């Protein structure tokens, strides 16, 4: 007595969805991750790089260590920052956290 499993396997495979549909949730998670995490991070990095490239003498900057100072000299990789009158430090351009815009008027809460 021989029983063949071929008709049972053929019926099971006809009812199951295609194999590529099993990977669809992973592809969807990858797209969501790219759209909500990676894309905004790349845009922030691009904006930070543009700020550092546009850095010029007289700009007020915030360093990575939390110091606020005025740019005295800009080189290719380094920036001389005056933290206080007579106190100048040399910092890497990449450690500049932000360029502080000049305050042109009254504070917002007045």
Domain extent listing, the chain: 1-54, 56-103
What is the H or E stretch that residue 96 is in? strand 96-100
> Buried b / exposed e across 39-76, counting CB within 10 Å, b at 16+?
eeeeeeeeeeeeebeeeeeebebebeeeeebbbeeeee
Note the pTM of the prediction, 2 decimals. Answer: 0.62
pLDDT tens per residue across span 35-79 = 898 999 999 999 999 998 999 999 999 998 899 999 999 998 999
86 DSSP assignment:
T
* Position with higher pLDDT, 6 vs 51: 51
Digit-coded pLDDT (tens) for 74-103: 998 999 999 999 999 999 999 999 998 887
In 3D space, the residue among 64, 66, 68, 53 whose CA is nearest the CA of residue 102 turns out to be: 68
- The hierarchical CATH code for the domain 56-103 is 2.30.30.60
């Amino acid at each position: 007595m021989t029983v063949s499993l071929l008709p049972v396997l053929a019926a099971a495979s006809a009812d199951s969805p295609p194999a590529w549909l099993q990977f669809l949730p992973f592809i969807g998670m990858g797209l969501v991750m790219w759209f909500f995490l990676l894309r905004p991070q790349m845009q922030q990095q691009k904006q930070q790089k543009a700020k550092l490239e546009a850095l010029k003498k007289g700009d007020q900057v915030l360093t990575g260590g939390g110091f606020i100072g005025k740019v005295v000299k800009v080189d290719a990789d380094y920036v001389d920052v005056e933290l206080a009158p007579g106190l100048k430090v040399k910092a890497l351009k990449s450690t500049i956290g932000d360029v502080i815009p000049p305050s042109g008027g009254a504070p917002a809460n007045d």
